[in-house]
Amino acid sequence: MAEAKKIGYGDLTGRVGVEEIRARGVDVDLLIKKLIANAAAEFSSTYYYYTILRMHLAGYEDYKEICEDARLEDRAHWELIVPRIYELGGELPNDLPTFHNQAGCAPAKLPSPPTAVNILTLLLESERCAIRSWSEICDMTFGKDPRTYDMASRILNEEIEHEAWFIELLARERDGRSIPSGHFRRGEPGDAPYSKNRQFYNP
């Protein structure tokens, strides 16, 4: 197999950061496609719809607070993913419906009827889809693309927490059972302890 041509001095037609991970076996085009799908899921299918879902948890202020943590952390995920897409040479679709339709998870639309049980079930299943999607990206990049792996694993940590939160709430609301999640209140809503770099990020 011929050795890939090195990117020359001052050459803007290639990216060493891309060529290095490609040489280690990463399918960069597929990775970009999956990152765009996950970005669409975090932004439109999750952050957008979670905003609506949170509004309909009227009378459940404790549920609303936890939903708000998940919602804002998904926004932080979106803001982590987008720069990586462009660093890899990809770009977001310049059309919101097209972007939305590429989401790797189904839209978390308001269920009918919008009961707390139905909303919590939808939130739970959305988080499970995210865990599967980010686990796949971790598998693709482990030992080959440290930057994407670091980002994906930090997001995955929070998605796993979110699943546990919604299991706890749904078990109590639907089944009258206690299945503790180990949830601790964030310092402020959206603190995103794994994915949000406070020293670099000012909302």
Q: Shortest CA distance to 129 belongs to which of 152, 153, 157, 159?
A: 159
Q: What is the pLDDT of residue 197?
A: 54
Given this model, what pLDDT does residue 12 score?
87
Cα torsion 45, 197, 29, 38 to 10°: value is -10
Where do the domains of the chain lie? 25-175
128 falls in which pLDDT band (50, 70, 90)? very high
Confidence (pTM): 0.89
The answer to whether the beta carbons of residues 35 and 136 sit under 8 Å apart is no
CATH annotation of 25-175: 1.20.1260.10
Mean pLDDT of all residues belonging to the chain: 90
114 exposure class (CB count in 10 Å sphere: 0-12, 13-18, 19+): middle
Peptide bond into 113 cis (omega under 30): yes
> What stretch of H or E contains 131?
helix 116-141
pLDDT tens digits for range 77-94: 999 999 999 999 999 999
Q: What is the pLDDT of residues 134-187, one digit of tens each?
A: 999 999 999 999 999 999 999 999 999 999 999 999 999 999 999 999 877 677
User: pLDDT at residue 203 above 50?
Assistant: no
